[in-house]
Structure 1
Amino acid sequence: MATATASVNNTTGTFMFHPRPTVFEHPITYDLPSLNNSTSIINNKSDINDFSQYYITLESRTTIHKSAKGPISIAECDVQGKYIIIENTSRSKSMVLTGWIIRQESDNGDILTFTLPDNYLLRPNHSLKILTKPNESERKNHDLIASSLSSWHTGLNFVTTLINAEGKDRASLTKKTIFS
């Protein structure tokens, strides 16, 4: 661990630097308090005593947890919010998904929903992509369009749940990102 000391207007601050692998860098501004309540202006950014702006390194770890009660599961939630893919993992049984709901909740409580159309049949070993309206041009074969949605959630944390016509949770995908 390296330590550096800076002095501005007779005020000293100590900074601790922890070398870590870079994942995200975010500028952090640190204003040293002035003893005479005046604002100091440093014109030479290469001055070795200028610690008014430095970068702090953050490491992150993202986990995706999937679960399913039966052959229908959530295979993927696009990181850019373009689509969600559900799949039928059964080798022999088609599933009628009439009235099933995809519900996605962000960590701030924002909820998005999409109800599958009547008489929708998902064949064995097949998947279904549900695109948002702005991505309709990427539609292929039997993909569905969530015309009321401009995007699925793209944040650091969200839970996507697949609910059957009886209101029971049948599958979920949870994305969590932790910074350290």
Structure 2
Amino acid sequence: MANTNRHEMDSWYKIKVQEIQTQSARQNMEQEHQKDEIKRLRTQATDLRSQLADMEGRVSALVKQLEDLNYQLEDDQRSYEAQLNDRDAQIRKLREECQALMVELQMLLDTKQTLDAEMNIYRKLLDGANDGGAGGLRQLVEQVVKTTGLTEVADTETMRVVQGEMSSRTSYTRSAKGNVSIQETDSTGKFVVLENTHRGKEEPIGGWKLKRKIDNKREIVFTFPADYVLKPSARVKIFARGAGEASPPEVLVMENDDTFGVGDNVNTLLYNKEGEERAQHIQRSSQSGSTN
């Protein structure tokens, strides 16, 4: 009985020892596996840190490249706007020159017509002399005398040629020292139009003065509101009192005068708050002779 119990105890002991050894071996294997896994994870973490550093470097480089591209874009945009403004200024200048040339051409044509009329008179004088008699010359002289007399009954074609008719021709000249120009002035004195020719820049013209000199005698002054700003590529029309209704900021009204004035020599000037001239619009009217 005692041997049997001992044999059972030995068997149980051996089984327990074997289980402990098996468990120990399994734990050792798990520890080795964990060590390998930890080593692999550390290597992977090192690789990821290296990749992260590379990515951060690439991101920094891309951010710097993006900033450089934004700066270049802004410079290109400013250059493009400056070129557009220069082109617009050249176009306006060419238009003004063409307008002045058209006025000058019309005046030359009127002068030519007057000269042609005088040549017709001289030709009639010569024709009368060549006829061998004083009849043609005498008749023409009598007609000329009639035209210079006090009577109003003479209405022959010859008299109309000598006397002629007077017509009015108007020329305009504009200039500006900046983006704000005097774009238009009404010939009847109802309004004046200003324009900001810049496509991307606001122009604060609060406190600026618009002065209009009529035949170097009368001066009319309009002062812009203190906080007035003219938007890019925008226009503002300033009406004389009673000529239009105010609708800021596109339309303003000059409350101190019923008209901007009418005359043969009209000079419209724009001054900033420092009293510096920034724009000018000159209107000149002249009388020229033309025949019927």
Q: Same fold (TM over 0.5)?
A: yes
**Matched residue count:** 147
Give the superposition deviation at 1:141: 5.1
Q: Which residue of 1 aligns with 2:29?
A: none
Give the superposition deviation at 1:110: 0.7
Give the superposition deviation at 1:119: 0.3
Matched, 1:100 2:208: yes
Q: 1:5 pairs with 141, 164, 189, which one?
A: 141
Q: In 2, Cα distance between the equivalents of 1:47 and 1:95? A: 60
Give the superposition deviation at 1:60: 3.5
Q: Which residue of 2 aligns with 1:81?
A: 189
Q: 1:31 pairs with 149, 153, 158, which one?
A: 149
Q: In 2, Cα distance between the equivalents of 1:46 and 1:121? A: 62
Give the superposition deviation at 1:169: 0.2
Give the superposition deviation at 1:178: 1.9
Relative to structure 1, the CA distance from residue 163 to residue 13 in structure 2 (aligned partners, 3 Å threshold; closer, same or farther) is: same
Give the superposition deviation at 1:154: 1.9
Give the superposition deviation at 1:61: 2.8
Matched, 1:172 2:290: no
Report the TM-score, using the length of structure 1 for normalisation. 0.72
Relative to structure 1, the CA distance from residue 31 to residue 147 in structure 2 (aligned partners, 3 Å threshold; closer, same or farther) is: same
Q: In 2, Cα distance between the equivalents of 1:86 and 1:47? A: 48
Higher helix fraction (1 or 2): 2
Q: Which has the higher contact order (CA 8 A, sep 6+)?
A: 1
Higher strand fraction (1 or 2): 1
Deviation readout 1:17-45 (Å, 9 max, x if unpaired): xxxxxxxxxxxxx435xxxxxxxx88xx4
Q: Gaps spanning 5+ residues in structure 1: where? A: 16-29, 33-40
Q: In 2, Cα distance between the equivalents of 1:140 and 1:55? A: 50
Relative to structure 1, the CA distance from residue 165 to residue 46 in structure 2 (aligned partners, 3 Å threshold; closer, same or farther) is: closer
SS at match of 2:142: strand
Give the superposition deviation at 1:59: 3.9
Q: 2:243 pairs with 107, 128, 135, which one?
A: 135
Q: In 1, Cα distance between the equivalents of 2:273 and 2:177? A: 14
SS at match of 2:145: strand
Q: Gaps spanning 5+ residues in structure 2: where? A: 1-119, 125-139
Report the TM-score, using the length of structure 2 for normalisation. 0.46
Q: 1:66 pairs with 160, 174, 180, which one?
A: 174
Q: In 2, Cα distance between the equivalents of 1:5 and 1:166? A: 64
Deviation readout 1:96-130 (Å, 9 max, x if unpaired): 11110000001141100000011001000000000
Q: In 1, Cα distance between the equivalents of 2:216 and 2:277? A: 21
Q: Which residue of 2 aligns with 1:120?
A: 228
Identity over aligned pairs, percent:
29
Relative to structure 1, the CA distance from residue 55 to residue 123 in structure 2 (aligned partners, 3 Å threshold; closer, same or farther) is: same
Q: After the TM superposition, which residues 15-30 of structure 1 pair with which residues of structure 2 at under 5 Å, given as runs?
A: 30=148
Give the superposition deviation at 1:55: 5.7
Structure (1 or 2) with the larger CA radius of gyration: 2
Relative to structure 1, the CA distance from residue 166 to residue 55 in structure 2 (aligned partners, 3 Å threshold; closer, same or farther) is: same
Q: In 1, Cα distance between the equivalents of 2:266 and 2:193? A: 16
SS at match of 2:237: strand
